[in-house]
Amino acid sequence: MPKLYDYVLSGSCYKVRLLAALLGVKYATQTVDFYPGREHKSPQMLALNPLGQLPVFEDDGLLLRDAQAILCHLANRYDPTGNWLPRDQRFGQVMMWLGFAGGELMAISAARMVLMLGYPGDVETLRAKGRMAMRVIEDHLADRQLAGAIWTVGDTPTIADIALFPYVMLSHDAGIGHEDYPAINLWQRRVRRLPGFVGMPGIPDYF
């Protein structure tokens, strides 16, 4: 059975939990004491991921780090429809949004760590970057909605939506509300209605 090295409050680990739930993939969980224990920097965890980051995913001898890479793996191996990771002209766009989700959008994660857990960092700068990232997503989704579409890429949900969803939704922990992002609000309600959807602390099912 695949195994996820998991931290319950991590939006990146949640990307993996969410896609696994949507695809019906069963996996074992090993809870890592990320905070306050910093277990992800322990020798045992560094042996699994020299970057000292979560999530880490083991599957049939494969050892993977990076939430976006793990999403690709799950879709590649467990989605017979091929829609979550399309191999046609949509592929490049999905990859583009995966890079953005693991890059620019992570400013929200960093701001959240400062504000919520007291990590060092300049919260104003991080929040400004986070707002810019939210604006890029909002503009893209607004254009898509004007064209009659809803998902980030194509006519079906893809791993691009799953990679973007957690930190967009956790932005309140970074002090960024959703009042200014109507297209995001429309989109996030569609994500929540996907069969098999699961939430996480801070992304409740009841909204």
Partner 1 sequence: MSLTKDKAAIDQWYVLGATQDFPIGQTVATWLLGGDVTVTRQADGFEVTGEGRRLPIRTHYNHLWTSFGTPARDVFALPEAEEPDRRWLYCGGVRVAASGLRLIENFLDLAHFPYVHTDILGSEEKPEVAKYDVEQRRDVDEIWATKCEFLQPKAAAASEGGQISQYMYRVVSPFNVMLYKTPPTAPNRWDVIALFVQPVDETHAIAHPFMLVIDPSSTDAEIIAFQQMIFLQDKIVLENQRPVQLPLQPGRETPTRADLSSVLYRRWLKEKALTFGTEPRTDQVSDFA
Please work out the total of residues on this chain that contact partner 1, with binding judged by CB under 8 A.
22
**Minimum distance of partner 1 from residue 90's CB (angstroms):** 33
Number of neighbouring beta carbons within 10 Å of residue 129: 17
Residue among 22, 173, 181, 183 that touches partner 1 (CB under 8 A): 173
> Who contacts 167 (Cβ-Cβ below 8 Å, separation ≥6)?
11, 101, 105, 106, 108, 109, 112
In the numeric block, which tokens belong to residue 184?
A: 């995001």
User: Contact between 82 and partner 1 (CB under 8 A)?
Assistant: no
**Minimum distance of partner 1 from residue 97's CB (angstroms):** 26
Instruction: Looking at residues 15 to 34 of the shown chain, list those that interact with partner 1 (rule: CB under 8 A).
Output: 31-33
User: Contact between 205 and partner 1 (CB under 8 A)?
Assistant: yes
In the numeric block, which tokens belong to residue 66?
A: 């990076």
User: Contact between 117 and partner 1 (CB under 8 A)?
Assistant: yes
The crossing angle, in degrees rounded to 10, of helices 11-23 and 106-117 is 120
User: Which residue number, 87 or 193, has a Cβ lying nearer to partner 1?
Assistant: 193
- Asked if residues 17 and 197 have their Cβ atoms less than 8 Å apart, the reply is no
Residue among 21, 116, 150, 186 that touches partner 1 (CB under 8 A): 116
Distance separating alpha carbons of residues 168 and 73, to the nearest angstrom: 23
Q: In 3-state terms, the chain is what percent helix, strand and coil (to 5)?
A: 55, 10, 40
User: Contact between 179 and partner 1 (CB under 8 A)?
Assistant: no
User: Contact between 182 and partner 1 (CB under 8 A)?
Assistant: no
Residues that bind partner 1 (CB under 8 A): 7-9, 31-33, 35-37, 39, 115-118, 172-173, 175, 201-202, 204-206
